[in-house]
Amino acid sequence: GAGVSQTPSNKVTEKGKYVELRCDPISGHTALYWYRQSLGQGPEFLIYFQGTGAADDSGLPNDRFFAVRPEGSVSTLKIQRTERGDSAVYLCASSQLKLQRSGYTFGSGTRLTVV
């Protein structure tokens, strides 16, 4: 596609529920990243995929968070037993290789609200 696509754009869920956030990267981009941006903060790194494998998941806050990229393209970020503190904008980005001089391309994000 022309850009990084994230769905849904907004998600409201009840505390304790399970959510899935989807990211469709730019076609041909092998690297995919998830970030989380809380109110008043900059984006915080969650996980980085190179192809199908998670090359760096050091930013995942706890075991309620999990991400997959089974075919090396679309990725899904999964959050179990959601908490109010999970409310944030979840950003996905992709790049052709690892971080390049032009940075990577972000999607518009999914705003997750846990009530």
Partner 1 sequence: DQQVKQNSPSLSVQEGRISILNCDYTNSMFDYFLWYKKYPAEGPTFLISISSIKDKNEDGRFTVFLNKSAKHLSLHIVPSQPGDSAVYFCAASATGTASKLTFGTGTRLQVTL
Contact residues for partner 1, defined by CB under 8 A = 4, 31, 33, 35, 40-45, 48, 50, 55-56, 58-59, 91, 93, 98-99, 101-109
Q: Which is nearer to partner 1, 17 or 56 (CB)?
A: 56
Residue 13 CB neighbours (<10 A)? 16
Contact present, 32 and 49 (Cβ < 8 Å):
yes
Q: Which is nearer to partner 1, 99 or 115 (CB)?
A: 99
Q: Which is nearer to partner 1, 14 or 103 (CB)?
A: 103
Q: Which residue has the tokens 């041909």?
A: 28
Closest CB 28 distance from partner 1, rounded Å: 18
Give the C-alpha separation, 48 to 98, whole Å.
9
Local structure of 90: helix, strand or coil: strand
